[in-house]
Amino acid sequence: MRDGRRNGVTRSGERAVIGAVRLPSQRRWEIEESLEELVGLVEAAGGSVVERVVQELRSPTPALYFGKGKIDEIGRTAQERDANLFVSDDQLSPIQERNVSKALGIKVVDRTALILDIFAQRARSSEGKLQVELAQLTYLLPRLVGQWRHLERLGGGIGTRGPGETQLESDRRVIRRRVMKIRGELERVQVHRRLQRAGRRRMGAPVVALVGYTNAGKTTLLNRLAGVALTTADRLFVTLDPAARLVEPADHQPFILTDTVGFIRKIPHELVAAFRATLEALKDADLLLHVVDASHPAMEEHMRAVEALLGELEVADRPTVLAFNKMDRVDGDLGAYRQGVAISAATGAGIDRLLTAIDAALPVAGVVTLSIPHADGPALALCYERGRVLARADGPDAVRLEVQLPRALRARLAPYLIGPPAASIEMLD
Protein backbone atom coordinates (compact mmCIF):
# COMPACT_ATOMS: atom_id res chain seq x y z
CA MET A 1 0.00 0.00 0.00
CA ARG A 2 1.38 3.38 -0.92
CA ASP A 3 2.10 5.79 1.90
CA GLY A 4 -0.13 8.81 1.26
CA ARG A 5 2.43 11.12 2.83
CA ARG A 6 5.06 10.21 0.24
CA ASN A 7 3.24 8.96 -2.87
CA GLY A 8 -0.29 10.27 -2.44
CA VAL A 9 -2.46 12.09 -4.96
CA THR A 10 -0.95 15.47 -4.03
CA ARG A 11 2.55 16.56 -3.07
CA SER A 12 3.64 19.70 -1.32
CA GLY A 13 3.85 22.59 -3.79
CA GLU A 14 1.64 21.05 -6.48
CA ARG A 15 -0.38 23.60 -8.47
CA ALA A 16 -3.94 22.57 -9.24
CA VAL A 17 -6.77 23.59 -11.52
CA ILE A 18 -10.11 22.59 -9.99
CA GLY A 19 -13.36 22.11 -11.86
CA ALA A 20 -17.03 21.28 -11.44
CA VAL A 21 -20.06 20.56 -13.62
CA ARG A 22 -23.21 22.51 -12.83
CA LEU A 23 -26.40 20.57 -13.61
CA PRO A 24 -29.80 22.26 -14.17
CA SER A 25 -30.97 21.17 -10.69
CA GLN A 26 -28.05 22.93 -8.96
CA ARG A 27 -27.89 26.57 -7.97
CA ARG A 28 -24.76 28.54 -8.83
CA TRP A 29 -23.98 29.44 -5.22
CA GLU A 30 -24.03 25.73 -4.32
CA ILE A 31 -21.31 25.06 -6.89
CA GLU A 32 -19.27 28.04 -5.69
CA GLU A 33 -19.51 26.88 -2.08
CA SER A 34 -18.48 23.37 -3.05
CA LEU A 35 -15.49 24.68 -5.03
CA GLU A 36 -14.47 26.91 -2.10
CA GLU A 37 -14.46 23.81 0.08
CA LEU A 38 -12.43 21.97 -2.57
CA VAL A 39 -9.83 24.75 -2.38
CA GLY A 40 -9.53 24.04 1.35
CA LEU A 41 -9.13 20.33 0.66
CA VAL A 42 -6.35 20.92 -1.89
CA GLU A 43 -4.55 23.19 0.57
CA ALA A 44 -5.05 20.65 3.37
CA ALA A 45 -3.36 18.06 1.13
CA GLY A 46 -0.37 20.35 0.58
CA GLY A 47 -1.19 21.85 -2.82
CA SER A 48 -2.43 25.23 -4.07
CA VAL A 49 -5.25 26.18 -6.45
CA VAL A 50 -4.33 28.40 -9.41
CA GLU A 51 -7.65 28.36 -11.30
CA ARG A 52 -11.31 27.33 -10.95
CA VAL A 53 -13.46 26.13 -13.84
CA VAL A 54 -17.24 25.57 -13.97
CA GLN A 55 -19.16 24.11 -16.91
CA GLU A 56 -22.95 24.05 -17.21
CA LEU A 57 -24.24 20.79 -18.71
CA ARG A 58 -27.58 19.02 -18.86
CA SER A 59 -25.73 15.85 -17.80
CA PRO A 60 -22.07 14.78 -17.50
CA THR A 61 -20.54 13.25 -20.61
CA PRO A 62 -19.85 9.49 -20.32
CA ALA A 63 -16.26 9.65 -21.54
CA LEU A 64 -14.85 12.81 -19.93
CA TYR A 65 -17.52 13.96 -17.42
CA PHE A 66 -16.85 17.48 -18.78
CA GLY A 67 -17.41 18.48 -22.40
CA LYS A 68 -14.58 18.01 -24.90
CA GLY A 69 -14.27 21.77 -25.44
CA LYS A 70 -14.05 22.44 -21.72
CA ILE A 71 -11.34 19.79 -21.32
CA ASP A 72 -9.33 21.54 -24.08
CA GLU A 73 -9.81 24.85 -22.23
CA ILE A 74 -8.66 23.27 -18.94
CA GLY A 75 -5.57 21.92 -20.70
CA ARG A 76 -4.66 25.39 -22.04
CA THR A 77 -5.28 26.94 -18.61
CA ALA A 78 -3.11 24.34 -16.91
CA GLN A 79 -0.29 25.03 -19.36
CA GLU A 80 -0.57 28.81 -18.95
CA ARG A 81 -0.69 28.65 -15.15
CA ASP A 82 2.02 25.98 -14.90
CA ALA A 83 -0.42 23.58 -13.18
CA ASN A 84 0.47 19.90 -12.82
CA LEU A 85 -2.78 18.63 -11.28
CA PHE A 86 -6.49 18.74 -12.13
CA VAL A 87 -9.04 18.06 -9.38
CA SER A 88 -12.69 17.32 -10.19
CA ASP A 89 -15.21 18.33 -7.56
CA ASP A 90 -17.34 15.30 -8.41
CA GLN A 91 -16.29 11.67 -8.43
CA LEU A 92 -15.01 10.43 -11.77
CA SER A 93 -15.40 6.90 -13.02
CA PRO A 94 -12.14 5.01 -13.67
CA ILE A 95 -12.60 5.47 -17.43
CA GLN A 96 -13.36 9.20 -17.11
CA GLU A 97 -10.32 9.72 -14.87
CA ARG A 98 -8.09 7.90 -17.36
CA ASN A 99 -9.51 9.75 -20.38
CA VAL A 100 -9.22 13.20 -18.78
CA SER A 101 -5.65 12.53 -17.64
CA LYS A 102 -4.69 11.42 -21.15
CA ALA A 103 -6.34 14.49 -22.70
CA LEU A 104 -4.73 16.97 -20.29
CA GLY A 105 -1.34 15.30 -19.98
CA ILE A 106 -1.27 15.92 -16.22
CA LYS A 107 -2.33 14.02 -13.13
CA VAL A 108 -6.10 13.92 -12.51
CA VAL A 109 -7.87 13.14 -9.24
CA ASP A 110 -11.38 13.67 -7.93
CA ARG A 111 -12.70 14.90 -4.58
CA THR A 112 -12.89 11.32 -3.24
CA ALA A 113 -9.21 10.60 -3.93
CA LEU A 114 -8.27 13.98 -2.46
CA ILE A 115 -10.12 13.32 0.80
CA LEU A 116 -8.58 9.85 1.05
CA ASP A 117 -5.14 11.41 0.54
CA ILE A 118 -5.73 13.87 3.40
CA PHE A 119 -6.88 11.06 5.65
CA ALA A 120 -3.75 9.08 4.77
CA GLN A 121 -1.61 12.04 5.85
CA ARG A 122 -3.51 12.65 9.10
CA ALA A 123 -4.16 9.12 10.40
CA ARG A 124 -2.09 8.47 13.53
CA SER A 125 -3.51 5.42 15.33
CA SER A 126 -3.15 1.91 13.93
CA GLU A 127 -6.94 1.72 13.65
CA GLY A 128 -7.12 4.97 11.70
CA LYS A 129 -4.37 3.86 9.32
CA LEU A 130 -6.15 0.55 8.69
CA GLN A 131 -9.45 2.29 7.99
CA VAL A 132 -7.83 4.71 5.57
CA GLU A 133 -5.95 1.92 3.79
CA LEU A 134 -9.18 -0.05 3.42
CA ALA A 135 -10.91 2.96 1.88
CA GLN A 136 -7.99 3.61 -0.47
CA LEU A 137 -7.81 0.00 -1.63
CA THR A 138 -11.58 -0.13 -2.19
CA TYR A 139 -11.29 3.02 -4.28
CA LEU A 140 -8.21 1.78 -6.15
CA LEU A 141 -9.42 -1.69 -7.12
CA PRO A 142 -11.70 -0.71 -10.05
CA ARG A 143 -9.04 1.80 -11.20
CA LEU A 144 -6.17 -0.67 -11.16
CA VAL A 145 -6.09 -1.03 -14.94
CA GLY A 146 -5.24 2.67 -15.13
CA GLN A 147 -2.02 2.03 -13.22
CA TRP A 148 -0.69 -0.03 -16.13
CA ARG A 149 -0.18 2.39 -19.03
CA HIS A 150 1.43 -0.31 -21.16
CA LEU A 151 -1.79 -2.37 -21.03
CA GLU A 152 -4.05 0.23 -22.66
CA ARG A 153 -4.76 -1.96 -25.70
CA LEU A 154 -5.81 -4.94 -23.60
CA GLY A 155 -9.53 -5.56 -23.76
CA GLY A 156 -10.00 -9.30 -23.99
CA GLY A 157 -10.15 -11.55 -27.06
CA ILE A 158 -7.58 -12.81 -29.55
CA GLY A 159 -4.21 -11.11 -29.38
CA THR A 160 -4.85 -9.37 -26.09
CA ARG A 161 -4.16 -12.05 -23.50
CA GLY A 162 -0.71 -12.42 -22.07
CA PRO A 163 1.68 -11.81 -19.15
CA GLY A 164 0.38 -8.27 -18.65
CA GLU A 165 -3.15 -9.47 -18.01
CA THR A 166 -1.78 -12.08 -15.64
CA GLN A 167 0.09 -9.34 -13.75
CA LEU A 168 -3.08 -7.25 -13.53
CA GLU A 169 -5.13 -10.13 -12.16
CA SER A 170 -2.30 -10.95 -9.76
CA ASP A 171 -2.36 -7.39 -8.41
CA ARG A 172 -6.12 -7.56 -8.03
CA ARG A 173 -5.80 -10.74 -6.02
CA VAL A 174 -3.14 -9.14 -3.81
CA ILE A 175 -5.41 -6.17 -3.14
CA ARG A 176 -8.43 -8.39 -2.43
CA ARG A 177 -6.40 -10.46 0.04
CA ARG A 178 -5.16 -7.29 1.72
CA VAL A 179 -8.73 -5.96 1.94
CA MET A 180 -9.89 -9.20 3.59
CA LYS A 181 -6.99 -9.06 6.05
CA ILE A 182 -7.73 -5.42 6.98
CA ARG A 183 -11.41 -6.18 7.47
CA GLY A 184 -10.46 -9.02 9.82
CA GLU A 185 -8.16 -6.73 11.80
CA LEU A 186 -10.86 -4.04 11.98
CA GLU A 187 -13.37 -6.60 13.24
CA ARG A 188 -10.99 -7.31 16.14
CA VAL A 189 -10.67 -3.56 16.73
CA GLN A 190 -14.45 -3.32 16.71
CA VAL A 191 -14.68 -5.99 19.42
CA HIS A 192 -12.14 -4.04 21.47
CA ARG A 193 -14.16 -0.85 20.98
CA ARG A 194 -17.31 -2.62 22.17
CA LEU A 195 -15.49 -3.75 25.32
CA GLN A 196 -14.33 -0.17 25.90
CA ARG A 197 -17.89 1.14 25.49
CA ALA A 198 -19.22 -1.57 27.81
CA GLY A 199 -16.68 -0.46 30.39
CA ARG A 200 -17.86 3.12 30.09
CA ARG A 201 -21.48 2.05 30.56
CA ARG A 202 -20.52 0.20 33.73
CA MET A 203 -19.23 3.52 35.07
CA GLY A 204 -22.85 4.67 35.08
CA ALA A 205 -22.08 7.98 33.31
CA PRO A 206 -24.12 8.75 30.18
CA VAL A 207 -22.29 9.08 26.86
CA VAL A 208 -22.45 12.27 24.78
CA ALA A 209 -21.04 12.03 21.22
CA LEU A 210 -19.72 15.06 19.37
CA VAL A 211 -20.79 15.25 15.73
CA GLY A 212 -20.45 18.02 13.20
CA TYR A 213 -18.98 19.24 9.96
CA THR A 214 -15.22 19.18 9.68
CA ASN A 215 -13.54 22.23 11.24
CA ALA A 216 -16.65 23.12 13.27
CA GLY A 217 -14.60 23.13 16.49
CA LYS A 218 -15.55 19.80 18.05
CA THR A 219 -12.09 19.03 19.44
CA THR A 220 -11.74 22.57 20.80
CA LEU A 221 -15.05 22.07 22.60
CA LEU A 222 -13.91 18.69 23.98
CA ASN A 223 -10.73 20.35 25.26
CA ARG A 224 -12.81 23.10 26.90
CA LEU A 225 -15.29 20.74 28.58
CA ALA A 226 -12.85 18.01 29.64
CA GLY A 227 -9.86 20.20 30.46
CA VAL A 228 -7.54 18.38 28.05
CA ALA A 229 -5.29 19.56 25.23
CA LEU A 230 -5.93 17.44 22.15
CA THR A 231 -4.50 18.78 18.87
CA THR A 232 -6.62 21.45 17.17
CA ALA A 233 -6.12 23.66 14.11
CA ASP A 234 -8.21 25.85 11.83
CA ARG A 235 -8.18 23.41 8.91
CA LEU A 236 -10.10 20.45 7.52
CA PHE A 237 -9.88 16.97 9.03
CA VAL A 238 -7.46 17.58 11.89
CA THR A 239 -9.11 14.90 14.05
CA LEU A 240 -9.46 11.40 12.60
CA ASP A 241 -8.93 9.14 15.58
CA PRO A 242 -11.73 8.83 18.16
CA ALA A 243 -11.25 10.18 21.67
CA ALA A 244 -13.29 9.81 24.86
CA ARG A 245 -12.94 11.91 28.01
CA LEU A 246 -14.86 12.13 31.28
CA VAL A 247 -16.48 15.54 31.83
CA GLU A 248 -17.24 16.40 35.46
CA PRO A 249 -18.52 19.99 35.48
CA ALA A 250 -19.44 21.66 38.77
CA ASP A 251 -23.21 21.79 39.40
CA HIS A 252 -23.94 19.65 36.34
CA GLN A 253 -24.33 15.95 35.60
CA PRO A 254 -21.03 14.21 34.72
CA PHE A 255 -20.87 12.46 31.35
CA ILE A 256 -18.41 10.83 28.96
CA LEU A 257 -17.74 12.96 25.88
CA THR A 258 -16.55 11.24 22.69
CA ASP A 259 -15.12 12.87 19.58
CA THR A 260 -14.76 11.35 16.13
CA VAL A 261 -14.04 12.27 12.52
CA GLY A 262 -15.77 15.34 11.08
CA PHE A 263 -18.33 15.09 8.30
CA ILE A 264 -18.23 16.74 4.88
CA ARG A 265 -20.46 17.10 1.83
CA LYS A 266 -19.98 14.45 -0.86
CA ILE A 267 -18.20 12.24 1.67
CA PRO A 268 -16.76 9.19 -0.13
CA HIS A 269 -18.81 6.04 0.34
CA GLU A 270 -15.55 4.11 0.69
CA LEU A 271 -14.70 6.28 3.69
CA VAL A 272 -18.08 5.82 5.35
CA ALA A 273 -17.79 2.06 4.93
CA ALA A 274 -14.21 1.95 6.22
CA PHE A 275 -14.94 4.16 9.23
CA ARG A 276 -18.24 2.47 10.06
CA ALA A 277 -16.66 0.69 13.05
CA THR A 278 -15.58 4.04 14.47
CA LEU A 279 -18.85 5.78 13.65
CA GLU A 280 -20.82 2.95 15.26
CA ALA A 281 -19.86 4.55 18.58
CA LEU A 282 -22.64 7.05 17.81
CA LYS A 283 -25.20 4.26 18.19
CA ASP A 284 -24.15 3.76 21.81
CA ALA A 285 -24.44 7.45 22.66
CA ASP A 286 -27.24 8.63 24.93
CA LEU A 287 -27.06 12.09 23.34
CA LEU A 288 -25.57 13.65 20.21
CA LEU A 289 -23.95 17.08 20.55
CA HIS A 290 -24.11 18.59 17.06
CA VAL A 291 -21.47 21.33 16.82
CA VAL A 292 -22.06 23.91 14.07
CA ASP A 293 -19.68 26.61 12.84
CA ALA A 294 -22.02 29.61 13.16
CA SER A 295 -19.50 31.86 11.39
CA HIS A 296 -19.48 29.84 8.16
CA PRO A 297 -21.60 31.22 5.29
CA ALA A 298 -22.69 27.68 4.37
CA MET A 299 -23.83 26.84 7.90
CA GLU A 300 -27.23 25.52 6.80
CA GLU A 301 -25.74 23.29 4.12
CA HIS A 302 -23.24 21.91 6.63
CA MET A 303 -26.04 21.09 9.05
CA ARG A 304 -28.00 19.28 6.34
CA ALA A 305 -24.93 17.28 5.31
CA VAL A 306 -24.38 16.13 8.90
CA GLU A 307 -28.05 15.26 9.37
CA ALA A 308 -28.04 13.26 6.11
CA LEU A 309 -25.04 11.19 7.21
CA LEU A 310 -26.57 10.61 10.65
CA GLY A 311 -29.61 9.27 8.83
CA GLU A 312 -27.39 6.97 6.75
CA LEU A 313 -25.83 5.69 9.99
CA GLU A 314 -29.35 5.18 11.46
CA VAL A 315 -28.78 7.48 14.45
CA ALA A 316 -30.78 10.53 13.33
CA ASP A 317 -33.48 9.74 15.91
CA ARG A 318 -31.09 10.13 18.88
CA PRO A 319 -31.69 13.04 21.29
CA THR A 320 -29.59 15.94 19.99
CA VAL A 321 -28.36 19.28 21.33
CA LEU A 322 -27.33 21.91 18.76
CA ALA A 323 -24.30 24.00 19.72
CA PHE A 324 -23.65 27.02 17.49
CA ASN A 325 -19.92 27.47 17.92
CA LYS A 326 -17.49 30.30 17.01
CA MET A 327 -19.96 32.99 18.07
CA ASP A 328 -16.93 35.17 18.85
CA ARG A 329 -16.60 35.53 15.06
CA VAL A 330 -20.27 36.41 14.48
CA ASP A 331 -21.83 39.87 14.60
CA GLY A 332 -25.13 39.81 16.51
CA ASP A 333 -26.72 36.61 17.85
CA LEU A 334 -28.79 33.71 16.60
CA GLY A 335 -31.49 34.08 19.24
CA ALA A 336 -33.24 30.75 19.75
CA TYR A 337 -32.48 29.61 16.20
CA ARG A 338 -33.50 25.96 15.85
CA GLN A 339 -33.47 25.72 19.66
CA GLY A 340 -29.69 25.75 19.64
CA VAL A 341 -27.20 27.09 22.18
CA ALA A 342 -24.79 29.87 21.11
CA ILE A 343 -21.25 29.23 22.37
CA SER A 344 -17.59 29.90 21.73
CA ALA A 345 -15.42 26.93 22.56
CA ALA A 346 -12.35 29.14 22.11
CA THR A 347 -13.38 31.80 24.68
CA GLY A 348 -15.69 29.73 26.90
CA ALA A 349 -18.75 31.92 26.27
CA GLY A 350 -22.06 30.07 26.63
CA ILE A 351 -20.51 26.87 28.01
CA ASP A 352 -22.63 26.89 31.19
CA ARG A 353 -25.81 27.27 29.10
CA LEU A 354 -24.65 24.36 26.95
CA LEU A 355 -24.11 22.16 30.02
CA THR A 356 -27.60 23.05 31.24
CA ALA A 357 -29.02 22.04 27.84
CA ILE A 358 -27.11 18.74 27.99
CA ASP A 359 -28.48 18.09 31.49
CA ALA A 360 -32.03 18.63 30.24
CA ALA A 361 -31.58 16.45 27.15
CA LEU A 362 -29.87 13.46 28.73
CA PRO A 363 -32.37 10.64 29.24
CA VAL A 364 -33.25 9.99 32.86
CA ALA A 365 -32.24 6.48 33.89
CA GLY A 366 -33.81 4.36 36.58
CA VAL A 367 -33.26 0.85 37.95
CA VAL A 368 -35.92 -1.72 37.06
CA THR A 369 -36.33 -5.48 37.26
CA LEU A 370 -37.17 -7.29 34.03
CA SER A 371 -38.02 -10.87 33.13
CA ILE A 372 -37.13 -11.33 29.46
CA PRO A 373 -37.97 -14.59 27.66
CA HIS A 374 -35.05 -16.36 26.04
CA ALA A 375 -36.90 -16.04 22.73
CA ASP A 376 -36.56 -12.24 22.76
CA GLY A 377 -32.82 -12.00 22.23
CA PRO A 378 -33.01 -8.43 20.82
CA ALA A 379 -34.61 -7.15 24.02
CA LEU A 380 -31.88 -8.77 26.09
CA ALA A 381 -29.20 -7.31 23.83
CA LEU A 382 -30.81 -3.88 24.13
CA CYS A 383 -30.45 -3.97 27.90
CA TYR A 384 -26.71 -4.57 27.57
CA GLU A 385 -26.20 -2.11 24.71
CA ARG A 386 -28.22 0.83 26.04
CA GLY A 387 -28.45 0.07 29.75
CA ARG A 388 -26.29 -0.88 32.70
CA VAL A 389 -26.97 -4.43 33.92
CA LEU A 390 -26.51 -4.62 37.70
CA ALA A 391 -27.60 -8.23 38.30
CA ARG A 392 -28.64 -11.25 36.23
CA ALA A 393 -30.30 -14.58 37.01
CA ASP A 394 -30.90 -17.16 34.25
CA GLY A 395 -34.10 -19.21 34.56
CA PRO A 396 -35.41 -22.08 32.42
CA ASP A 397 -37.72 -19.83 30.37
CA ALA A 398 -36.50 -16.28 30.97
CA VAL A 399 -33.61 -14.11 32.11
CA ARG A 400 -34.21 -11.90 35.15
CA LEU A 401 -32.29 -8.64 35.05
CA GLU A 402 -31.84 -5.74 37.40
CA VAL A 403 -30.87 -3.01 34.99
CA GLN A 404 -30.50 0.76 34.80
CA LEU A 405 -32.32 1.92 31.68
CA PRO A 406 -32.88 5.22 29.86
CA ARG A 407 -36.45 6.51 29.79
CA ALA A 408 -36.57 6.12 26.00
CA LEU A 409 -36.60 2.30 26.32
CA ARG A 410 -39.70 2.21 28.54
CA ALA A 411 -42.20 1.36 25.79
CA ARG A 412 -40.01 -1.34 24.23
CA LEU A 413 -39.41 -3.22 27.51
CA ALA A 414 -42.62 -2.42 29.40
CA PRO A 415 -44.10 -5.95 28.85
CA TYR A 416 -41.20 -7.46 30.81
CA LEU A 417 -41.38 -5.23 33.91
CA ILE A 418 -41.80 -7.16 37.16
CA GLY A 419 -44.07 -5.79 39.86
CA PRO A 420 -46.99 -3.35 39.87
CA PRO A 421 -46.88 -1.11 36.78
CA ALA A 422 -47.08 2.09 38.82
CA ALA A 423 -44.10 1.12 40.94
CA SER A 424 -42.04 0.14 37.91
CA ILE A 425 -42.84 3.38 36.10
CA GLU A 426 -41.95 5.34 39.21
CA MET A 427 -38.57 3.60 39.28
CA LEU A 428 -37.98 4.54 35.65
CA ASP A 429 -38.77 8.18 36.33
Q: Tell me, what CATH number does 372's domain have?
A: 3.30.70
Indicate the residue type of 63.
Answer: A
Looking at the structure, tell me whether residues 312 and 355 fall in a common domain: yes
Tell if the pTM clears 0.75, that is, is over it. no
Core vs surface per residue 93-108: b (16+ CB within 10 A) or e: eebbbbbbbebbebbb
CATH number at residue 334: 3.40.50.300
Beta bridge partners of 291: 212, 323
Of 78, 98, 122, the residue that ends a domain is 122
CATH number at residue 102: 3.40.50.11060
Looking at the structure, tell me whether residues 317 and 382 fall in a common domain: no
Residue 130 forms part of a structural domain: yes
Of 134, 166, 190, the residue that ends a domain is 190
DSSP class per residue in 58-109? SS-BTTTBS-HHHHHHHHHHHHHTT--EEEESSPPPHHHHHHHHHHHSSEEE
**Structural domain harbouring 381:** 365-428
Instruction: Report how many domains make up the chain.
Output: 4
Q: Name which of 111, 346, 326, 317 is nearest 220 in CA terms.
A: 346
pLDDT in tens, the chain (429 residues): 334 333 456 555 789 999 999 999 999 988 998 999 899 899 988 899 999 999 999 999 999 999 999 999 999 999 999 999 999 999 999 999 999 999 999 999 999 889 888 888 777 777 778 878 888 888 888 877 645 444 444 444 444 444 555 667 777 788 888 888 888 887 787 777 677 666 655 555 688 999 999 888 888 899 899 887 655 454 555 555 667 788 888 878 788 888 877 788 877 777 776 666 567 667 778 899 999 999 988 899 899 989 988 888 888 888 899 999 999 988 877 666 778 899 999 999 999 999 999 988 886 666 788 999 999 998 898 888 767 788 899 999 999 998 877 665 666 788 898 853 333 433 333
Looking at the structure, tell me whether residues 375 and 345 fall in a common domain: no
Distance (Å, whole) CA 39 – CA 268: 17
Residue 7 burial (CB count, 10 A):
11
Counting runs of H as helices and runs of E as strands, what totals does the chain give?
A: 15, 13
Looking at the structure, tell me whether residues 36 and 168 fall in a common domain: no
In sequence order, the 6+-apart residues with CB closer than 8 A to the CB of 342 are 294, 324, 327, 333, 334, 349, 350, 353
Looking at the structure, tell me whether residues 235 and 349 fall in a common domain: yes
Give the number of residues written for the chain: 429
Distance (Å, whole) CA 260 – CA 229: 15
Beta bridge partners of 54: 20
Looking at the structure, tell me whether residues 154 and 301 fall in a common domain: no
Q: What's the chain's Rg over C-alpha atoms?
A: 25
3-state secondary structure of 396: coil
Residue 285 forms part of a structural domain: yes
